[in-house]
Amino acid sequence: MSLFRSGAIAASFLLAPAVYAQAIATPAGILSGANAFNPAISLIMTGQYADLSEEPDGYRIGGFLAGGEHGHGFGPGERGFGLGRTELAISANIDPFFRGEAYITFDSHGGAEVEQGYVTTLALPSGLTARFGRYLSGIGYVNEQHEDFWDFVDAPLAYKALLGTQYRHDGVQLKWIAPTDLFIELGVEGGKGLGFPASEESVKNGFSSGAAYLHLGGDVGDSHSWRAGGAYLRTRADERENDNIDINDPDALVEFAFTGKSRVWVADFVWKWAPLGNPSVRNFIFQAEYIQRKESGELAYDDTAGSGALGALSDRFRASQSGWYAQAVYQFMPRWRAGVRYDRVDSGTVEYAAPVLADYEPERKTAMVDFSPSEFSRFRLQYARDESRPNLPDTQIYLQYIVSVGAHGAHRF
């Protein structure tokens, strides 16, 4: 009985997730004083050396309304040495009902942003979890993944062209996991979209952006596991401003402002192999996603600051555009991984008063090798040939580091 008692006490005080940071401050496990409730804190630091054959400021994705209101990580970054993002993550249980997590990112030029800051329920029954605040949308696979977990330095082209790199909501999310052996997760979310393909400013009261998604997953034997998903996202934009290369003059830029709605469909698939389910020595990951986006509304076009070929126009705009990528990453020995990725996006069909977007299918081929001295540090060498810009292939070479200090982060599937 006494053992059970002490076990129960240990369970209630020592084992809360928040305690991990705690135990670091007091190795003996004695929790006392005002610091005893400190949250788990970790800091992720990244940086890179980049060798880019083309001017990064001129980066655009041909055939798309892309650029302008795009967020962090749209372009290839700066040439030469550069500090990447520094991310501070703080999390703890708030009370028996809620958990709070905040991810604050500092960019190398001094700006700070609450990249994510959300509250998640702990006590809802029946497989339900609700979340509110600012969060990465659950659509797709890479979208919800933190940048430092990516297998490559940058996001897939399809995400850059169609979803503004990573799509976030300020709003609410409700997820439900079915009581089945097969993993079935349904999610609905809505609120205000933060940036492309929504516009930065709120359009109206209520929900201006909403998404629903379904994830399925499971194991095949001891060595294989998989997850597949489908998602639908609907956003509104009000004078969403972009620029792109003028198709009548490759040295000039034109301005776009789009007002209307965007509908996005995402299909994603991940398959992982580890011999007998033990990834320490060797493992393999295959992942692919397909994204389709339809936009309809009004588009304002202005080339008066550049070539002036068409002047300023405003007319009905309809577009159906898509993109996909597939990638494979192999850990061939402890600490060493190699990976390849192929990206392709398609400018699709565009209906407008005059041809203003290039009919183009950008593609990119990427290869990388990374070395992780420990679970908390990683160095990556990446080579890419990026044909986002028509007739201007960019050869991009990166040497990147990612390190984490503080609380042990969670793994991710």
* Interactions with other proteins, residue window 366-395 (CB under 8 A): 373-376
**Rounded CA gap, 276 and 356, in Å?**
54
> Around Cβ 127, how many Cβ atoms within 10 Å?
14
CB of residue 246 vs other proteins: minimum separation in angstroms?
A: 38
* Least distance to other proteins, CB of residue 290, Å: 20
Q: Which of 49, 176, 265, 383 binds other proteins (CB under 8 A)?
A: 176
Q: Buried b / exposed e across 367-383, counting CB within 10 Å, b at 16+?
A: ebebebeeeeebebbbe
Instruction: Choose the binding region for other proteins from 157-165, 183-191, 259-267, 380-388 (rule: CB under 8 A).
Output: 183-191
Written as one string, the DSSP assignment of 237-274 is EEEEEEEEEETTEEEEEEEEEEEEEEEEEEEEEEEEE-
| Among 14, 30, 305, 397, contact with other proteins (rule: CB under 8 A) | 14
> Using alpha carbons only, what angle is made at residue 142 by residues 140 and 148, rounded to the nearest 5 degrees?
160
Per-residue binding string, other proteins, 149-168, x by CB under 8 A, is --------------------
| Shortest Å, Cβ 48 to other proteins | 23
- Chain centroid offset of residue 122 CA: 24
Q: How far is the CB of 21 from other proteins (least distance, A)?
A: 10
Query: H-helix or E-strand containing 404?
Result: strand 394-406
Query: Please, which of residues 237-266 interact with other proteins by CB under 8 A?
Result: none
Binding to other proteins, residues 314-373 (CB under 8 A): 334-335, 373
Cβ contacts of residue 7 below 8 Å, gap of 6+? none
Question: In angstroms, what is the minimal distance from the CB of 161 to other proteins?
Answer: 26
Which residue from 215, 293, 337, 389 is in contact with other proteins, where contact means CB under 8 A?
215
Determine if 214 is a binding residue for other proteins (CB under 8 A). Answer: no
Virtual CA dihedral for 194, 200, 203, 206, nearest 10 degrees? Answer: 20
| Least spacing, CB of residue 182 vs other proteins, in Å | 7
Does 221 engage in binding with other proteins (CB under 8 A)?
A: no
The verdict on 20 binding other proteins (CB under 8 A) reads yes
User: To which residue do tokens 């089945």 refer?
Assistant: 180
Instruction: Give the range of 103-111, 259-267, 272-280, 319-327 binding other proteins by CB under 8 A.
Output: 272-280
Q: Is 188 in the site for other proteins (CB under 8 A)?
A: yes
Smallest gap, in angstroms, from Cβ of residue 155 to other proteins? 21
The alpha carbon torsion through 174, 127, 270, 369 (nearest 10 deg) reads 80
Q: Contacts with other proteins: how many residues (CB under 8 A)?
A: 77
Q: Residue 280 or 391: which CB sits closer to other proteins?
A: 280
Q: How far is the CB of 259 from other proteins (least distance, A)?
A: 21
80-97 burial, b at 16+ Cβ within 10 Å, e below that, comes to eebebbbbbbbbbbeeee
Q: What stretch of H or E contains 388?
A: none
Give the separation between CA 185 and CA 172, rounded to whole angstroms: 17
Does residue 278 belong to the site contacting other proteins (CB under 8 A)? yes
Site for other proteins in 39-98 (CB under 8 A): none
Work out how close the CB of 98 gets to other proteins at its nearest, in angstroms, rounded to a whole number: 11
Residue 260: CB atoms within 10 A of its CB come to 18
Pick the stretch among 102-110, 159-167, 212-220, 351-359 that binds other proteins (CB under 8 A): 212-220
